[in-house]
Chain A
Amino acid sequence: MIRESKDILNWIVEQGVRWQPSLGGTLSLGRTNSFFLGGGRAMLNALYLTAERLGVEVAYDAEVIDLVIEDGMFLAARVKRPINGETEIRATSLVAAAGGFEANIEWLKEHWGDAADNFLIRGTPYNRGSILKMLLERGVQEVGDPTQCHAVAIDARAPKFDGGIITRHDSVVFGIVVNKHAQRFYDEGEDIWPKRYAIWGRLVAAQPDQIAYIIFDSTVVTSFMPTLFPPIAGRTVTELAGKLTLDPAALEKTIAEFNAAVRPGKFDHTILDDCRTEGITPPKTHWARRIETPPYLAYPVRPGITFTYLGTRVNKEARMLMKGGKPSANMFAAGEIMAGNVLGKGYAAGIGMTIGSVFGRIAGREAAKHARN
């Protein structure tokens, strides 16, 4: 994947997709990430236009309701469309690029229990994992832990589905994060943000009622990108606690203990600086500064699921492997539906797009090769 990813940068431009430099105000992403100009939808629009120009027919508003698979060999798909009704489409190869199952709350609950009711889903409500389920039921080998996913802490006021990128919060490293009992639970300054933002969804998911609050003061408000939802403000810690329905005494105590533990240092959010705490658990190992300048501010956050890692096992040709290890004759997979082959747990910024584009290209190439023979 890493080898092919270098070439993808140019290849995808040939398909009409455009890049832009790292976005203004994003935290430490300038050194690590490229961005699509106009965002993901602009990328998809460009790829669809290229596909149409090449003569590819796209069936919109079409739901695959069944796959006919015999002995690891794809034969046909049953498709339901609002106008044509149910039809069967036969093909020589299949590339499954149908995503994970993050929008299927019942499926999430099988593994997470009732906690999944408090998850917010960052993408489309249609990502219900129905194709993934069909493939696994028809003999494709599964890969990945069903509870593992790309999950970030997003604003608790975001819509249940499809809040997208704009509900993110980059402010964790500038403050502290407490749960509903006003207790801290993880080192907010463990590592630079592009390496850590994708663990906070799981961390919040493990807290009671799956809710947490990023708490900071007025001195850092302009240190991170402006947010869709304004921070909740209080002139005193007690007033803020009241608005967040936290126990005021507990929040006062947590902040006071944190402030007392902060050691002097030279603050620099671009490096692992020496601003840290001493004598509290958990510690804040970098970027620790006292929270003492009113107004006191907070963002409520919940787990925001971007995509799940459970998927179909593939080999390096993106070919699906059947239970028992035999490669499928003509079934390939790309994107989220096979991300679990690469991602066990954790994440680093940009990997999802890289998996999608690299394995999309490989799967397409191999599927075409099979169809030609």
Chain B
Amino acid sequence: MHGTRILDEADRLMTVCNSCRYCEGLCAVFPAMEMRRAFSDGDLNYLANLCHACGACYVDCQFSPPHEFNVNVPKTLAVARAESYAAYAWPRALSGTFARNGLVISVIAALSMAAFILGFAALNDRGVLFGVHTGPGAFYRLMPHNAMAALFGAAFLYAILALVMSVRAFWRDIGEPIGGRADGGSIFQAIRDAGELRYLHGGGVGCYNEDDRPTDRRKLYHHLTFYGFLLCFAATSVATLYHYLLGREAPYPLWDLPVLLGTLGGIGMIAGPVGLFVAKKQRAPELLDEQRYGMDVGFIAMLFLTGATGMALLILRETAAMGPLLALHLGAVFALFITMPYGKFVHGIYRFVALVRYAQERRGEAGS
């Protein structure tokens, strides 16, 4: 017996799958399963986070409903995965944020946007918020750069701390008893596997989403979103270096590196989440974890908002709308940062860690 009902069900399914094994070529989950004959809570959380929800094993399975064995691996592992986010959350007191995640995320997003607007209005002279500001340092007339850097730096550091603590708990639970360290080769392998979404692939034909045809485009949308996010992050990092090393203040001209990176990334962060949202709406109900709909959509919406407000700010930065848009954009980014450890963002972290563990297990097997 396991800690939760969903882990009991995951254990039952892994016992069924382990005596069949026809899906072992589809992804990493089944080869990892075959290295075990019995499954601890940690093992099941590991397998759940290794699953990329491509749906192929459900479409291929001869024991999926209406068969009495009722095998639905993608959905069961999706629920187990979501529950594992709460189980490993740090501090424990905040694990409840996963229960009604859509609500939590939207309230925090709304509050932080409102806080930036009110803050801009309260701390500045009347008229600054709706004034037209151009030239270097335009943004900092609304909020001093150092204040901005301190606030976001603190939010980001907190997010990293909470994520590190969560990952420690996960790693200890799924890894060797002492929670062994990862080797460089396995980490490199995991970066490649995650970077190309190797297992969001249906074993070669593609993924399944709305029906039993491998026509799913989530891999493309995810790439747009993820690499869009990375480009935006890179844009911010370059801008920070410009500011402190070169003494050049934002906003930068359109041809300059931070703007180019941010524009490309922003397009990705608008198009990707839209695609993911539409795919989520079309997903076959038998594959969908309805209870986590709020968490999934909340995260998609936050990414979209961050991208959309950023692009709007770029386009309208020389008009009177700049002040309010800057407030909205900063509010969205701030909410995204502080909710990182308590929302769907963590899926990427846990899945990456699971891929590291998988790469390590494969190396161990090949070595023995």
CB < 8 Å neighbour of B62 from A23, A37, A41: A41
CB < 8 Å neighbour of A24 from B21, B56, B61, B205: B21
Q: Indicate whether B67 reaches chain A with its CB closer than 8 angstroms.
A: yes
In the complex, 15 of the A-B residue pairs with CB atoms within 8 angstroms, ordered by the A residue number, are: A20-B24, A24-B24, A26-B21, A36-B22, A37-B25, A39-B20, A39-B22, A39-B61, A40-B22, A41-B62, A45-B59, A165-B62, A166-B19, A168-B19, A228-B19
Q: Indicate whether A42 reaches chain B with its CB closer than 8 angstroms.
A: yes
For A35, the chain B residues whose CB sits under 8 A away are 22
Interface residues on A, range: 20 to 34
Chain A minimum-CB-distance residue to B25: A20
Q: Indicate whether A252 reaches chain B with its CB closer than 8 angstroms.
A: no
For A36, the chain B residues whose CB sits under 8 A away are 22
Contact with B along A177-209 (1 / 0, CB 8 A): 000000000000000000000000000000000
Contact B62 A39, beta carbon cutoff 8 Å: yes
Q: Indicate whether B361 reaches chain A with its CB closer than 8 angstroms.
A: no
Contact B204 A165, beta carbon cutoff 8 Å: no
> How far apart sit A217 and B364, CA to CA, in the bound complex (Å)?
29
Chain B minimum-CB-distance residue to A42: B60
Q: Indicate whether A293 reaches chain B with its CB closer than 8 angstroms.
A: no
CB < 8 Å neighbour of A38 from B16, B68, B69, B203: B203
Q: Indicate whether A18 reaches chain B with its CB closer than 8 angstroms.
A: yes
For A15, the chain B residues whose CB sits under 8 A away are none
Chain B minimum-CB-distance residue to A52: B213
Q: Indicate whether B34 reaches chain A with its CB closer than 8 angstroms.
A: yes
Which A residues from 27 to 62 make CB contacts under 8 A with B?
Answer: 35-42, 45-46, 49
> How far apart sit A25 and B22, CA to CA, in the bound complex (Å)?
12
For A222, the chain B residues whose CB sits under 8 A away are 37
For B213, the chain A residues whose CB sits under 8 A away are 49
For A45, the chain B residues whose CB sits under 8 A away are 59-60, 212
Which A residues from 258 to 282 make CB contacts under 8 A with B?
Answer: none
Given contacts A37-B204, A38-B56, whether A166 and B25 have CB atoms under 8 Å apart is no
> How far apart sit A16 and B213, CA to CA, in the bound complex (Å)?
12
Given contacts A18-B204, A164-B63, whether A226 and B22 have CB atoms under 8 Å apart is no
> How far apart sit A222 and B38, CA to CA, in the bound complex (Å)?
11
> How far apart sit A280 and B24, CA to CA, in the bound complex (Å)?
42
For B63, the chain A residues whose CB sits under 8 A away are 164, 166
Given contacts A38-B203, A164-B62, whether A226 and B57 have CB atoms under 8 Å apart is no
Q: Indicate whether B207 reaches chain A with its CB closer than 8 angstroms.
A: no
Which B residues from 24 to 45 make CB contacts under 8 A with A?
Answer: 24-26, 31, 34, 37
Q: Indicate whether B23 reaches chain A with its CB closer than 8 angstroms.
A: yes
Q: Indicate whether A159 reaches chain B with its CB closer than 8 angstroms.
A: yes
Contact A38 B57, beta carbon cutoff 8 Å: yes
In the complex, which of the residues B16, B25, B61, B69 has the most CB atoms of chain A within 10 Å of its own CB atom?
B25
Contact with B along A315-330 (1 / 0, CB 8 A): 0000000000000000
Given contacts A18-B203, A25-B34, A159-B68, whether A41 and B20 have CB atoms under 8 Å apart is no
Q: Indicate whether B84 reaches chain A with its CB closer than 8 angstroms.
A: no
Q: Indicate whether A147 reaches chain B with its CB closer than 8 angstroms.
A: no
For B203, the chain A residues whose CB sits under 8 A away are 18, 37-38
Enumerate the 10 nearest inter-chain pairs by beta-carbon distance, A residue then B residue, closest first. Answer: A39-B22, A38-B60, A20-B25, A42-B60, A166-B19, A228-B19, A23-B21, A37-B25, A166-B20, A41-B62
Q: Indicate whether B240 reaches chain A with its CB closer than 8 angstroms.
A: no
> How far apart sit A46 and B56, CA to CA, in the bound complex (Å)?
12
For A226, the chain B residues whose CB sits under 8 A away are 15, 18-19, 37
> How far apart sit A42 and B69, CA to CA, in the bound complex (Å)?
18
Q: Write the nearest CB–CB distance from B217 to chain A, whole angstroms.
A: 17
> How far apart sit A350 and B203, CA to CA, in the bound complex (Å)?
23
For A40, the chain B residues whose CB sits under 8 A away are 22, 62
Q: Indicate whether A225 reaches chain B with its CB closer than 8 angstroms.
A: yes
Given contacts A18-B203, A226-B15, whether A23 and B24 have CB atoms under 8 Å apart is yes
For B24, the chain A residues whose CB sits under 8 A away are 20, 23-24
For A63, the chain B residues whose CB sits under 8 A away are none
For B31, the chain A residues whose CB sits under 8 A away are 24
Chain A minimum-CB-distance residue to B63: A164
Given contacts A23-B21, A24-B34, A25-B34, whether A166 and B60 have CB atoms under 8 Å apart is no
For A21, the chain B residues whose CB sits under 8 A away are 25
> How far apart sit A38 and B25, CA to CA, in the bound complex (Å)?
7
For B20, the chain A residues whose CB sits under 8 A away are 39, 164-166
For A41, the chain B residues whose CB sits under 8 A away are 59-62
Contact B16 A228, beta carbon cutoff 8 Å: yes
For A292, the chain B residues whose CB sits under 8 A away are none
Contact B23 A39, beta carbon cutoff 8 Å: yes
> How far apart sit A227 and B15, CA to CA, in the bound complex (Å)?
7
For A88, the chain B residues whose CB sits under 8 A away are none
Q: Write the nearest CB–CB distance from A289 to chain B, whole angstroms.
A: 21
> How far apart sit A20 and B23, CA to CA, in the bound complex (Å)?
9
For A166, the chain B residues whose CB sits under 8 A away are 16, 19-20, 63, 69
Q: Write the nearest CB–CB distance from A11 to chain B, whole angstroms.
A: 18
> How far apart sit A20 and B203, CA to CA, in the bound complex (Å)?
10
Q: Indicate whether A162 reaches chain B with its CB closer than 8 angstroms.
A: yes
Given contacts A38-B56, A38-B57, A162-B67, whether A225 and B21 have CB atoms under 8 Å apart is yes
Instruction: Please name 15 further chain A to chain B contacts, defined as beta carbons within 8 Å, in addition to the given A39-B20, A228-B19, sorted by A numbering.
Output: A23-B24, A24-B24, A38-B26, A39-B62, A40-B22, A45-B59, A164-B63, A165-B22, A165-B62, A222-B37, A225-B18, A226-B15, A226-B19, A226-B37, A227-B19
In the complex, which of the residues B19, B26, B56 has the most CB atoms of chain A within 10 Å of its own CB atom?
B19
> How far apart sit A18 and B60, CA to CA, in the bound complex (Å)?
12
Chain B minimum-CB-distance residue to A159: B68
Contact A42 B59, beta carbon cutoff 8 Å: yes
> How far apart sit A38 and B31, CA to CA, in the bound complex (Å)?
13
Contact A39 B34, beta carbon cutoff 8 Å: no
Contact with A along B187-210 (1 / 0, CB 8 A): 000000000000000011100000
For B56, the chain A residues whose CB sits under 8 A away are 38, 42
Contact A25 B21, beta carbon cutoff 8 Å: yes
> How far apart sit A83 and B265, CA to CA, in the bound complex (Å)?
52
For A228, the chain B residues whose CB sits under 8 A away are 15-16, 19
